[in-house]
Amino acid sequence: METESIFRVLLPLLIIAFALHRGYYVKNHSKSEDATLKKREEGLASKLAGLLGMVGFVSIILFAVNPNWLAVASLSLPLWARWAGVGMALIGFTLLQWAQVTLGKSWSDQPRMMKEQTLITSGPYRTIRHPIYTAFLLILGSTLFISSNWLIGLSWAGMTLLEVASRIRFEESLMIEYFGDQYREYMKRTGRLLPRINIVTTSVVKPGGD
């Protein structure tokens, strides 16, 4: 099988695997509305994200059938970069599953505060506040490299960025509202999407003067 044909197969399989993983947890671990104290209402960002997702979905179908139909949006990426995209997606899936298992019963399909919810700070949450969203960005952002096509990549990446930004804003305000100083302290020692890098600075004391 030619290399380009491999990517044409891998790309739709990536989206299918992501959808199946998401669907499994939504079907088997979703919480009832009775257990919800407060949740996010979909706004403009979510609607725009949905539109970009439709563009991305259609473009992947076209790419799988005949890449020449999207030739106008093709990029000249080296082969190693495209395989790096595959590796990026695998890292994303690994992080996603790790975060899902760590959350356990505290996971929800949408940003919300549930009754008797606890603040999870173990596993990937020890250093990152939103590892699931980091995983989303890795998995769906990898489509840019695997396809070597900016229409596909920017559609999926744009959709993910819009949705993630909206979710994070709501979730962090909600967590501060319910957990207060406990969450503020947690924010000080963790990064939002990547581990926090603590840079130690030293001051130089000059003799005399200002």
DSSP 88-155: HHHHHHHHHHHHHHHHGGG--SSSEEETT-----SGGGGTBS-HHHHHHHHHHHHHHHHHTBHHHHHH
Span 46-61, pLDDT tens digits: 889 999 999 999 999 9
Are 102 and 129 in contact by the 8 Å Cβ rule? The answer is: no
Residues 14 and 188: their CA atoms lie apart, in Å, by 35
Give the pLDDT confidence score for residue 32 in this predicted structure: 66
Residue 102, C-beta contacts closer than 8 angstroms, at least 6 positions apart: 120, 122, 123, 124, 125
Q: Please give the C-alpha separations between residue 125 and each of 51, 122, 186, in angstroms, as whole numbers.
A: 31, 5, 10
CATH of 3-27+39-110+118-189, one of 3.60.20.10, 1.20.120.1630, 3.40.50.700, 3.30.390.50: 1.20.120.1630
Which of the 8 DSSP states describes residue 180?
T
Give the pLDDT confidence score for residue 202 in this predicted structure: 44
Give the pLDDT confidence score for residue 210 in this predicted structure: 41
Give the pLDDT confidence score for residue 40 in this predicted structure: 67
Ranges of residues in the chain whose predicted pLDDT is under 70: 1, 31-40, 198-210
Give the pLDDT confidence score for residue 199 in this predicted structure: 54
Give the pLDDT confidence score for residue 108 in this predicted structure: 80
Give the pLDDT confidence score for residue 204 in this predicted structure: 45
pTM of the model: 0.88
Give the pLDDT confidence score for residue 186 in this predicted structure: 94
Which of the 8 DSSP states describes residue 81?
H
